[in-house]
A and B are shown apart, each in its own frame.
Chain A
Amino acid sequence: MRKTLIYRSLQILSAMAFVVLISSATFAQDGAALFSGNCTSCHAVGKEVLGPDLKDVSKRRNLEWITKWVKNSGAVIASGDPYATSLFAKFNKTVMPPQNLKDDDIKAIVAYIDAESAKAPKKVVVAASGTSGKAEGDNLGLILVVCGIILLILVLVLGKAVKGLNKVVRQKEGLPAPIERKPLAALWFWMRNNKKLVAIILIVFMSWSTVKGWDTLWNIGVTTGYQPDQPIQFSHKIHAGDNGINCVYCHSGVEHSKTAGIPTANVCMNCHKAIKESDVQLDNGAVATEEIGKIYKALDYNPSTQQYGNNPKPIEWNRVHNLQDFVYFNHSQHVKVGKIECQTCHGPVQEMTTAKQYSKLTMGWCIDCHLATPVQVKGNHYYDKIVDYMDHKHPGDTIKVANIGGTECARCHY
């Protein structure tokens, strides 16, 4: 009886806790979206970006103050609020632009920031997490090699033992000693006596080499893993991973154009006008401050005087993804209309220090995806006719890209 009571109360308690957790989680999640949509271009949690570090902001200021500040920071500064004026002075007298956010939104964002602040601080040095995975892989290989060597030694020792024992047994039984043959002749003799085994080994070997050869031929010109050196050691990991900057913030063409676009230096300057130096060291040894300096050099910008010179020089990046000229590929079709995540094709860019070609970018790879990916027909009247047709002809089927002609030649080749 007592047990059940305890159980009951525990059940209720856990249910309540669950509800609370869920609700706060949704709150925080909204906040996450709002934060990344509105704040990340200038702010981060646990780090000073263009604006102040927002970690534990709710501990420093109350929600009411924050709301006022977010909506119109200029007015707060003008009111003579000492905290506000000191912030203003600290950040190069740049006013935070007024944000068109509702009170609830701001509350959600603060809740998100609180949640993020509570998390363990992220490692500053990128190297640690990056190399650990690599080391694991290397260890595995080493273990395999060691095992192989041990096995080989074992086989040799056992073979020797068998031979010796055989000799001894034959001697004991009075049989003549086996004929000593030269190694090549011995192999030949063995092969004659084991024709079936030899045939099987040959067939296996030929099949293996055919498959390997075929694969090699197919992969000519496939540059998966291509990771060229870049003039600036830009780390996607720091920007997109650690700081959570949305891909579209820099690759702004992705929703409008066929090219996602390499960000222009003025986009870099949105943040790096304020972030002039950083002691972050990249895992390839580059020092962030030096790399930021390269942007200034390209723009002929003097960070101390904040003046642009008249000798700018464009940055010559090395193209990572080189699609053949005879292929037409449109980013906005995939990202805006198809709602495909960047990572689907580009892989975990947020974990890459230097950008790398993740996918094969072969036609087979494209087609495989077009055969499997459903079309975002919902709410898009462009597809009305197709939907009617498919409902009529193949009721119940999902409409795949291939169903709307996504595997036809002239969709990409013209």
Chain B
Amino acid sequence: MEKQYWKGLEELRNDPEFEKLKNQEFAEELPLEEIFSSKAEANNTTGRRDFLKILGFGVGVATLAACEAPVRKTIPYLIKPEEIVPGVANYYASSYFDGRDYCSIIVKTREGRPIKIEGNELSPITKGGTNARVQASVLSLYDSSRLKTPLIDKGPATWNRVDKAVTDKLVALYGASKPVEEVKDKKGKVVKGGAAKGNAAAGKSGNLRILSSTIISPSTKAVIGDFINKYPGTKHITYDAVSFSGMRMANEETFGSAMIPSYRFDNAKAIVSFDADFLVNWLSPIEYSKQYVAKRKLRGSNKDASMSKHIQFETALSVTGSNADKRIAIKPSEMGSAVLSLYNKIASKAGEPTYNGSDLGKADESIKEAADELWRNKGNALVVSGSNDKNVQILVNQINQLLGSYGVTIDTTTPSNLQQGNDAEVKELIDDMNNGKVDGLILYNVNPVYTLGKAQADAFKTGCAKVSLKVTFTDREDETASIDGFIVAPDNHYLESWNDAEPKKGHVSLSQPTINPLFSTRAAQESLMIWAGIENKSYHDYIQDHWKKNFFHEGKTKEKHLMFEDFWNKSLQDGVVELTAEAAPIEKGKDKPKEVAKDNSKDKTKAAPRTANKTAEAAAGIQKSSGSGFELVVYEKTGLGNGNQANNPWLQELPDPISKVCWDNYLALSPGTAKRMNFKQGDVATVSVNGYSVDVVVLEQPGQAADTGSLAIGYGRTNAGKTSSSKTKVIGVNAYPFSQFVNGSIQYFTAADVKKTAKTYELASTQTHHTMMGRPVVKEASLEEYRKDGKAGNEQEYVVTMDGKQKPEDVDLWASKENPGHPRPNHQWGLSIDLNSCIGCGACVIACTAENNVPVVGKAEVMRSREMHWMRIDRYYSSDAKKGDLSNMEHPAEQPQVVFQPIMCQHCNHAPCETVCPVIATSHSSEGLNQMTYNRCVGTRYCANNCPYKVRRFNWFKYADNPKFDFNMNDDLGKMVLNPDVVVRSRGVMEKCSMCVQRIQETKLVAKKDKRKIKDGEIKMACSQACPTNAITFGDWNDTNSELSLQGKEERSYHLLEELDVKPNVVYQTKIRNVEEAKA
């Protein structure tokens, strides 16, 4: 309700000068020189007078503004929606799907504005987890670069014109009979143009193509089906920017069905992954990270602790690889051979035929180790591969079959609907376009000009000229939409639209709009329906009908409902529905997987591969390692992913989990390779492959395979919006053109030519120290050590006092046994962070940004170490250097182990920051919180100097309403994402993690109103709620039975820098690795 408009002083309300002065953080420099120069005097006699006027006015305004409070408006609803109480948040269940990641979510809205995304705990798939991209998607809703109206010939158009243009073309193609009719609403405004009535005239059949990203919405598929019925000859082709086509092809050969199974990492005791970054990018990462960590959480007795063993073979150091117990860096071209080698080793154990492959040298030992580990855990093992090569995936299938994984760690009965892309069809489409065989092209959620390989993208562009009807549903004028002749019919944001999703067979979920469309946009489905002549029916009704027909049947849903209304409302409220197995509809042309899998689950070892000859073929088709040449691999980053949210400043500023670089992509080379190729960090290299070359900065990345370089996709967008645009500044370089079509699928690595240039370039990195410099910041131990001693790796720290060595907690300047210091009579809030569960994905960082109105500062400020993130995830490489050998402290090993450590304010009970504040702007609460009072702070920054954890952030600028920081907070639209319960900090004050005190206060109030105590787990921090692996737990130390207290009692628990005796309320748990001997 209470939209507040600052209108300035009443009497000065309409003065433009005043408006200007008010809005400017830095008043523009007065053009003194011009005014006083004789030339200006001659030209403009009033220059000096104007100057004096401005000066006088400025002084006047400043004086008046100091005395008079501005008049503020408060505008209530005229008719209040029943469900809205101003000041109270509403929550709606919905589903996030961007063509790639699926996540069941809860959307928090305030006064009708979505402001935060939370995970939906009712979902059996994502189980309340989220990732950075899901968290950041709420900001993409308020993206001012979204299209405000449809476009025809790059100019704004009405929907009526769009409908007419499209249907006219369709009529021309199909020769349909009836002219376009207009549909008018009550006010007489045209809401939509009519469609060509009647079916296609006999004899004429257009060649329409719908090119979309993966669609998991059953209703959308039905809409497309209806469109195809109306316009026969239309073909629907699925194209994923990051393709899993090879895997579907392999499964078609193995199982006779081009499906992707569900993986169960929670059933796997041994996991071997070949370049599959399944914790943050591969297939369904939120689901898998939940499962993966479930098998690696340690609770209770250390004696019988068990963890899965994870071995990762990969080229670039990925998040998954950095969490692996053992990680082997190999070149991308060796990946196939490595899989073949593993197959051979497993096959010889199982007594199956083996095939010849290339020699892998040293890596072979690791493969042997992996094979032993897998074989030892036969029946509970899992091998996955991120390769898009059919042959590799066939071998992986065979390995899993030999290991008896099907039915245990791989579930073929509930296939995943994600990643349906078919690369061969895409290639065919491009050829058809160029051969003039395509009359119409409709693009939905794809941006092929940006995401295709160089050769294909060029061919696509030339092919477009030969297509007469070109439509795209993109929400912005992206790289593809800016080709001449495209009609742009902008789709709603997912938070504005109805939709449904079936990420896995039998698991359906709904998306509901949480805000009215901000602009004149229309759901793509609705556009298709109108063009197909399905009128007088909204997409919402269409979904309802589809659900009634397909999901609401006797015995179809697990929960029984008599009336469809009840079923629908319950589904809408929960967001997710589980269907019984027989009810789940089977996609057309995609039969149930053949019974191979089921047979195997019964008789795991003996079932002979039905496709023995195919295995041989696959083994023969494996690419031989190419030797010593330099290879380039393109990969996805945790933040930007495939680049569809490249205009999202939150994601751009999220430091990469591994390199800690933000606002750029870079060519990662291992330190050894860089040295050999004569590169230093910051040098710019020219990378060229087949006529496409880019200049990109080099980053020395420990862990990168030798003679390889990796470059992230998602960057280098020329038409993403104001953040990355060729008109202003392009962030990073585009790596997609390096992808190649090989054997019918897109491959993401290639041999490349790298040359040094004379240029240098600076990257913005939030962590400049790579190692712990010898201090015990992160504690870790091996599983073996931990089994022997629960405190392994977590040795007690001592401080030296007059009375000898003492535990830090026993030494206290203020309190004694008689006088126990400040009381915490009711609560003592705290956090517990399990380093063994943290995978470093960064979802918490974005969640914190969204919850606490953390400003984006931009690359230049990050380079000055002025990033504002309230929490960070420190990444440490284990160094091989000996303790005390300071010379090597800062240089991590070539193949380091990696640890992630989320750091936020530790809320020390003896906080060093509090004692040095000259104005008591930071103080301690009786609930254990270290409070930061912005309005009291004068910005001396003593506190930040005195903080041992470096968690305090200083506002160097007023980041809101400041054109120099043109991100979401300098944008009326972008500001709508701000949390109204948290103040937007101004310039010159310190800020830091408040432990989401607004959430604590809110829940306390709810409890008080209910006259009850707060339940454990009732309050969740933004970070703990977002975490896909439940690594962060919030609770009350005073509640001895709380999850927090129980975790605090674990032997693995320790306080960060305990020897300082600042008594933090945040506790960490030692990281345990499933390795033979400890490295620490």
Contact = CB atoms under 8 A, between A and B. Distances in A.
- Are chains A and B native binding partners rather than an unrelated pairing? yes
B73 A324 contact: no
Interface residues of B, number: 54
Nearest to B929: A410
B87 interface: yes
A257 B67 contact: no
B536 interface: no
Interface in B56-92: 66-67, 69, 71-80, 85-88
A74 to B, nearest CB: 25
B826 interface: yes
Contacts of B86: 253, 257, 259, 261
Nearest to B920: A409
Contacts of B87: 253, 256-259, 261
Contacts of B982: 414
B184 interface: no
A315 B78 contact: yes
Contacts of B359: none
Contacts of B933: 409-410, 413
Contact of A264 (B66, B77, B1007): B77
Given A228-B71, A318-B74, A328 B981 contact: yes
Interface of A: 220-221, 223, 226, 228, 252-253, 256-259, 261-267, 298-299, 310, 312-319, 322, 324-326, 328, 330, 332-333, 336-337, 379-386, 389-390, 393, 404-405, 408-411, 413-414
Contact of B1008 (A263, A380, A405): A380
B424 interface: no
Contacts of A299: 78-79
Contacts of A336: 1009
Interface stretch (B435-443, B993-1001, B1061-1069): B993-1001
Which are the 3 A-B pairs with shortest beta-carbon distances? Answer: A257-B87, A410-B931, A389-B825
Interface stretch (B368-376, B472-480, B1010-1018): B1010-1018
A314 B73 CA distance: 11
Interface in B362-400: none
A310 B186 CA distance: 10
A313 B77 CA distance: 10
B825 A382 contact: no
A337 B88 contact: no
A318 B997 contact: no
A297 to B, nearest CB: 11
Given A381-B1013, A386-B825, A413-B935, A315 B1005 contact: no
A394 to B, nearest CB: 11
B549 interface: no
B1001 A411 contact: yes
B1005 A332 contact: yes
A139 to B, nearest CB: 32
Residues of A contacting B: mostly: loop
A332 B1006 CA distance: 10
A337 B69 contact: no
B925 A318 contact: no
Contacts of B545: none
B930 to A, nearest CB: 9
B71 A318 contact: yes
B50 interface: no
Interface string B391-416: 00000000000000000000000000
Contact of B935 (A261, A324, A408, A410): A324
B1038 A223 contact: no
B976 interface: no
A386 B1038 CA distance: 12
A335 to B, nearest CB: 11
Interface of B: 1-2, 4, 66-67, 69, 71-80, 85-88, 186-187, 823, 825-826, 923, 925-927, 929, 931-936, 981-984, 994, 997-998, 1001, 1004-1005, 1007-1009, 1011-1014, 1038
Contacts of A264: 1, 76-80
Contacts of A263: 76
Contacts of B2: 259, 262
B1007 A382 contact: yes
18 contacts: A252-B85, A262-B1, A262-B74, A263-B76, A299-B79, A313-B78, A322-B72, A380-B1011, A381-B1011, A381-B1012, A385-B826, A389-B823, A410-B929, A410-B932, A411-B925, A411-B1001, A413-B931, A413-B983
Given A314-B75, A316-B73, A414-B982, 6 more contacts: A313-B78, A330-B1001, A332-B1005, A336-B1009, A409-B933, A410-B932
Nearest to B984: A325
A312 B78 contact: yes
Given A263-B76, A312-B78, A332-B1009, A382 B1014 contact: yes
Residues of B contacting A: mostly: loop
A258 B982 CA distance: 13
B931 A314 contact: no
Nearest to A223: B69
Contacts of B994: 410, 414
Contacts of A325: 983-984
B397 to A, nearest CB: 54
A409 B925 contact: yes
A321 to B, nearest CB: 10
B683 to A, nearest CB: 45
Contacts of B823: 389, 393
A386 B825 CA distance: 6
B827 to A, nearest CB: 8
A414 B983 contact: yes
A392 B929 CA distance: 24
Contacts of B1014: 382
Given A264-B79, A410-B994, A317 B983 contact: no
A404 B1004 CA distance: 12
B72 to A, nearest CB: 4
A35 B78 CA distance: 28
A228 B10 CA distance: 11
A9 B994 CA distance: 73
A36 to B, nearest CB: 22
A76 to B, nearest CB: 31
Nearest to B70: A322
A207 to B, nearest CB: 26
Residue picked from B2, B4, B85, B936, most chain A C-beta under 10 Å: B85
A317 B73 CA distance: 6
A408 B923 contact: yes
B1038 A385 contact: yes
Nearest to B73: A316
A385 B79 CA distance: 43
A53 to B, nearest CB: 29
A256 B75 CA distance: 19
B1001 A315 contact: no
B830 to A, nearest CB: 15
A262 B88 CA distance: 15
A312 B826 CA distance: 50
Given A265-B79, A310-B186, A414-B997, A318 B73 contact: yes
A337 B1009 CA distance: 6
A310 B188 CA distance: 12
Contacts of A253: 85-88
A257 B88 CA distance: 6
Contact of A385 (B186, B825, B1001): B825
Contacts of A409: 923, 925, 931-933, 936
A414 B997 CA distance: 7
A298 B1008 CA distance: 39
Nearest to A300: B78
A322 B7 CA distance: 14
A314 B1008 contact: no
Contacts of B1012: 381-382
A413 B937 CA distance: 12
A263 B2 CA distance: 11
Nearest to A252: B85
A256 B85 contact: yes
Given A389-B823, A408-B931, A317 B74 contact: yes
A332 B1005 CA distance: 8
